[in-house]
Amino acid sequence: MNDLMSRALNLAGLRGAQYADIRVVENHTESVVIKDGGVNNLSNEETAGFGVRLLVDGYWGFASSRELAAGEVERVTALAVEIARASAVAGGERVELGLPVSSQGVYQTPFQVDPFSVSLEDKIALLLSADAEMGRVAGIRTRIGNLCSIREHRWFANSEGALTEQTIIESGGGIQATAVAGGEVQVRSYPNAFVRQQVTGGWEAVLSWNIPRNAYRIASEAVALLTADPCPSDTITDLILGGAQLGLQVHESCGHPIELDRVFGSEAAYAGTSFLTPEKLNSFQYGSPQVNLTADSIRPLGLGTFGWDDEGVPAQSTPIVRQGLFVGYLMSRESAARLGMQSNGCMRASGWNRIPLVRMTNVSLEPGEWDLDDLISDTERGIYMETNRSWSIDDKRYNFQFGTEIGYEIKNGRLGRMLRNPTYTGITPEFWNSCDAVCSEKSWNMWGTPNCGKGQPSQIAHTGHGAAPARFRNVRVGVLK
């Protein structure tokens, strides 16, 4: 492996590259899907290959191939040089990468039980057990469950002396029950929306979620939602968001706008730009004093936890918002250099055939001091919403609208009637400035978002978001039609 990587880096230098790196990636993904009492999908996918990224005269080129052989490494490296030379045709500023990166070492995700060591029979049995529990509830139309295990082996070397090797293990899974009657379709999921919570870690994480034990409850809730009262229409009220929904709120309204490549316009044509422009750094009141957000790649279980990013920059933690003040970005070497800063290790590629982009690692809302029961007791009138059902936000990350699977009215400090089709909408800084309480470590959890899209060609990243329930004052809810 090292010989092939050295071959690429040497050839890149000989052909005029001032900087080069090569990543070799082997990904192994195992999926178990159960639907309505039967095995719907049992699959085992492997993909491997390498990508060479280099700078010639300050312009990028990248080429990749599945075939890890000396001749192909040479062809791909030469093609990357040709592409970089073509990049110069349109002109523009030459890329500066800042200080060199020469990390070396080996990293492996910590885990207790390798998810690939667990038999398929045991995995199927776990999901069938949950399926049977959901099946006990009359009125459920569709039951689905899935488990996902990922092992990704990554090697990285660059022309500045970096050489790292990492093995990342992910475990994920969940269940979903759908009830249909009349014109209503109601869905409940566990532990997270869209049938999947996911973490870096082993099988022990999946067992800790007690999926079968929650199956009957969520199926019952799906059926109950069919006849629940609708969320009040177009009303301003206080809102308490459950941790999983808040994790996605952080992802969309904080995680994306702090990507420094977006800020500089790299994603303008596709994912969009950001309202968090550089002059706001250290001066913009993003949220209330209760809001503290951190980006890190070191917290246990986070889908953004690793040893080094895909530029070889070590894992680290960065304050993003402190007592409401915006203080940090997610950065690459190139984007950080434009601000006279150093990368905080947020360059991640979705596979061997993609370049790294500035991506979220684990962007988390730090816990506050409230107990959830106390927070509800302290709320005279409002709505509690949990588990995402739909999410939408504008291309600068200001205006958002989210829907959740379930809501509960809060009246005189108590949870009351169940509400169907809850939605809420707002403008990002107004929303976060309306946050007046965040729950404590006791209800803080690391949530996984394994479906974050960005880039052309499309890349799907896996990101982590720690969050506990929090309260927001005077939010517009009930925007359905």
Partner 1 sequence: MENREDAQKLIEQVLRRCAPQHAEAMLVAADSSLTRFANNAIHQNVHERDTTLYLRLLDGKRLGRSSSNRLDSTGLDELVARARLFAKASREDADFPGFVSDAKYQSVASFDPAAAACSPQQRATRVSVVCRLAAEKALNASGAYSTGWEVTALGNTNGVFAYHAASRVDYQAVVMSDDSSGHVESSGWRLDDIPVEALGGEAIRKAELGRKPRKIEPGEYPVLLDPYATSDMLENLDFHGMGAMTVQEGRSWMNGRLGERAMDSRVSIWDDGYNLEGNPLPFDYEGTPKQKVDIVRQGVVVGPVYDRRTAQKDGVESSGHTLPSKHRQFSPAATHMFMQPGDSSLEDMLHSLMHGLYITRFWYTRLVHPRDCVVTGMTRDGVFMVEDGELAYAVKNLRFTQSYVQALAEIDAIGRETRLLVESYYNIASRVPALQLKRFNFTGSTV
Site for partner 1 in 244-273 (CB under 8 A): 264-270, 272
Cα of first residue to Cα of last residue in the chain, in angstroms, is: 57
How many other CB atoms sit within 10 Å of the CB of residue 96? 11
DSSP secondary structure string for all residues of 416-472: EEEEES-EEEEEHHHHHHTEEEEB-GGG-EEEEEEEEEETTTTEEEEEEEEE--EEE
Please report, as residue ranges, which positions from 437 to 456 form the binding site for partner 1 (by CB under 8 A): 453, 456
Can residue 38 be called a binding residue for partner 1 (CB under 8 A)? yes
Please report, as residue ranges, which positions from 401 to 440 form the binding site for partner 1 (by CB under 8 A): 401, 403, 421, 423, 425, 427
CB of 440 to partner 1, least distance (A): 32
Contact 147, 32 (CB under 8 A): yes
Can residue 57 be called a binding residue for partner 1 (CB under 8 A)? no
The CA distance from 238 to 191, in Å, is 25
Which of 3, 43, 117, 412 forms a contact with partner 1 (CB under 8 A)?
43
Which residues, other chains included, contact 201 with Cβ-Cβ below 8 Å and sequence gap of 6+? 109, 110, 111, 169, 170, 171, 300, 301
Please report, as residue ranges, which positions from 155 to 184 form the binding site for partner 1 (by CB under 8 A): 178, 180, 183-184
Please report, as residue ranges, which positions from 211 to 240 form the binding site for partner 1 (by CB under 8 A): none
The CA distance from 460 to 481, in Å, is 31
The CA distance from 48 to 46, in Å, is 7
Q: Which is nearer to partner 1, 143 or 299 (CB)?
A: 143
- DSSP label at 64? E
Q: Which is nearer to partner 1, 48 or 224 (CB)?
A: 48
Please report, as residue ranges, which positions from 65 to 94 form the binding site for partner 1 (by CB under 8 A): 65-66, 79-80, 82-93
Quick one: which of 360, 211, 189 has its CA closest to 271?
360
Taking each helix axis as running N to C, give the angle between helix 70-87 and helix 2-14, from 0 to 180 degrees, rounded to the nearest 10. Answer: 40
- The residue assigned the tokens 């070492």 is 105
Can residue 119 be called a binding residue for partner 1 (CB under 8 A)? yes
Which span sits near partner 1 by CB under 8 A: 6-14, 16-24, 47-55, 202-210? 47-55
Q: Which is nearer to partner 1, 267 or 309 (CB)?
A: 267
Which of 353, 361, 362, 404 forms a contact with partner 1 (CB under 8 A)?
353
Q: Which is nearer to partner 1, 159 or 332 (CB)?
A: 332
Which of 5, 263, 393, 446 forms a contact with partner 1 (CB under 8 A)?
393
Which span sits near partner 1 by CB under 8 A: 116-124, 197-205, 336-344, 378-386? 116-124
Q: Which is nearer to partner 1, 340 or 457 (CB)?
A: 457
Classified as helix, coil or strand, 228 is: coil
CB of 79 to partner 1, least distance (A): 6
Can residue 141 be called a binding residue for partner 1 (CB under 8 A)? yes
